[in-house]
Amino acid sequence: MKRLLITGAGGNLGRIARARLGHLAEILRLSDIAGMGPAGPGEEVIPCDLGDRAAVADLVAGCDGILHLGGVSVERPWDEIQNANITGVYNLYEAARAHGMPRIFFASSNHTIGFYEQDQVLDVTDPMRPDGLYGVSKCFGEGLARLYHDKFGQESALIRIGSCFEKPRDRRMLATWMSPDDFVRLVECVFRVPMLGCPVIWGVSDNDEGWWNTETARLIGWRPQDNAEDFRAEIEAAAPRPAPDAPESRFQGGKFCAEPIHQG
């Protein structure tokens, strides 16, 4: 690719992508609301509010691929979520449509299905059960991406990201963790496979424990290699086991299921 746009470049996943995915394109165009620091070699830094239609259009122009990590990624008041994750996603897909339909990696979330219990194995075709406004906004995004695929041929990878950190941080992440290395390989696969279409794929490492049938990862040739199990002793030593009926123990979405509706 000549130019790859990374939204949310100042966030957790965005910083990983910035540091390690430069080889995917001649230029990385980095965007976030703030906090990205100066551009390095081969980088363009363009602050942008996803809710600003015109700004998003300018941002997307000239890009051959979009790694869409931007927006709100936790439970927040509705107006914030709506601006970034609903208006923002609409703006992004309209911009892509206007500018040659570059392939999009859409960071969806396990919180689209967070209200399933932890003793069930899910397929990507199971009906959604979001665990908060954030999760609902990601259901919206998956629906919009599917529309743009069916109507215009826009390709998107709908990646339901588990928990991507250096290491798993609590017991639930022993099941939901995706290592940064696996994330990097995942992005490479999305932009490499000849035919992408619009598949849904669980963004999770090859953890011993898990709730998701990861069969669709092979559609893009992604084979995760890390395993949260390596951190079990550390995790279990760090904190007592939560009660069995705590949301963290019971639901796939964990604590999100117990979050209130945040007021602005």
- The answer to whether residues 95 and 31 touch, using CB atoms and an 8 Å cutoff, is no
Q: What's the min distance (Å) between Cβ of 10 and its own copies?
A: 26
Indicate the residue among 2 and 218 with the shorter CB distance to its own copies: 218
Q: Residue 255 carries which DSSP code?
A: G
Reduce the DSSP state of residue 165 to 3 states and report it: coil
Distance, CA of 168 to CA of 163 (rounded, Å):
8
Q: What's the min distance (Å) between Cβ of 73 and its own copies?
A: 17
Indicate the residue among 74 and 121 with the shorter CB distance to its own copies: 121
Footprint on this chain of its own copies (rule: CB under 8 A): 78, 82, 86-87, 90, 94, 97, 112, 115, 117-121, 125-133, 135-136, 139-140, 143-144, 146-147, 150-151, 153, 155, 171-172, 174-175, 193-199, 207-211, 213, 215-216, 218-223, 229, 241-242, 244-245, 248-250, 257, 261
Amino acid at 80: E
Catalytic residue flag (residue 90): no
Distance, CA of 84 to CA of 76 (rounded, Å):
11
Nearest to 56 by CA among 95, 23, 82: 95
What is the pairing mode between strands 177-178 and 27-31? unpaired
Q: What's the min distance (Å) between Cβ of 86 and its own copies?
A: 6
Beta bridge partners of 161: 109, 203
Instruction: Report DSSP letters for 220-233, one per residue.
Output: GT------GGGGHH
Indicate the residue among 23 and 125 with the shorter CB distance to its own copies: 125
Q: What's the min distance (Å) between Cβ of 34 and its own copies?
A: 25
Strand order across the 3-7 sheet = 43-45, 27-31, 3-7, 65-68, 103-109, 156-161, 200-203
Indicate the residue among 31 and 207 with the shorter CB distance to its own copies: 207
CA distances (Å), origin 167, targets 104, 107, 170, 183, 253: 27, 19, 9, 13, 18
Q: What's the min distance (Å) between Cβ of 39 and its own copies?
A: 29
Indicate the residue among 11 and 135 with the shorter CB distance to its own copies: 135
What is the pairing mode between strands 200-203 and 3-7? unpaired
Of the residues 93, 116, 134, 148, only one is catalytic, namely 134
Catalytic positions: 134
